[in-house]
A = this chain, B = another copy of it.
Amino acid sequence: MDERVREHAAVLVDWSARVETGDDVVVSVAEDAHELGVAVAEALGERGANVTTLYGSDEVSRAYLKGVEARVAGEGDDGDGNDDAAVDADDFDSDPAVDRAIFEAADAYLRIGGGRNTTATADIDRPTRQAYAKARKGVREARMDTDWVSTVHPTRSLAQQAGMAYEEYQEFVYEAVLRDWESLADEMARMKEILDAGEEVRIVTERDDAPDTDVTMSIAGRTAVNSAASVAYDSHNLPSGEVFTAPYDTEGEVFFDVPMTIDATRVRNVRLSFEGGEVVDFSAEAGEDALADILDTDDGARRLGELGIGMNRGIDRFTDSILFDEKMGDTVHLAVGRAYDACLPDGESGNDSAVHVDMITDVSADSRMEVDGEVIQRDGTFRWEEGFEG
A interface, CB within 8 angstroms of B: 22, 24, 26, 29, 31, 34, 37-39, 41-48, 50-55, 57, 59-61, 63-71, 93, 96-102, 104-106
Contacts and interface: CB of A to CB of B under 8 A. Distances in A.
Nearest to A71: B46
B38 A60 contact: yes
- Select the residue from A24, A48, A64, A66 with max chain B CB neighbours within 10 A: A64
Contact of A67 (B46, B59, B63, B105): B46
A101 B93 contact: no
B57 A34 contact: yes
- Select the residue from A54, A65, A100 with max chain B CB neighbours within 10 A: A54
B50 A98 contact: yes
Nearest to A33: B55
Given A24-B98, A98-B106, A51 B34 contact: no
A64 to B, nearest CB: 4
Given A22-B93, A34-B57, A46-B70, 11 more contacts: A37-B57, A41-B60, A45-B65, A46-B68, A48-B68, A50-B99, A52-B96, A53-B60, A98-B105, A100-B105, A101-B102
B48 A71 contact: yes
Contacts of A38: 57, 59-60, 63
Contacts of A96: 24, 50, 52
Contacts of A64: 41-42, 44-45, 51
A59 B53 CA distance: 12
A371 to B, nearest CB: 45
A45 B59 contact: no
19 contacts: A34-B57, A34-B59, A37-B55, A38-B59, A38-B63, A41-B60, A41-B61, A41-B63, A41-B67, A42-B64, A45-B65, A50-B93, A51-B60, A52-B54, A52-B98, A53-B57, A54-B54, A101-B101, A101-B104
Contacts of A65: 45
Given A34-B57, A64-B41, A52 B99 contact: yes
A60 B27 CA distance: 11
A380 to B, nearest CB: 41
Nearest to A45: B67
B71 A45 contact: yes
Contacts of A59: 34, 38
Contacts of A29: 55, 57, 60
The list of the 9 closest CB pairs from A to B, nearest first, reads A45-B67, A101-B101, A42-B63, A55-B55, A46-B67, A42-B67, A53-B55, A50-B96, A97-B105
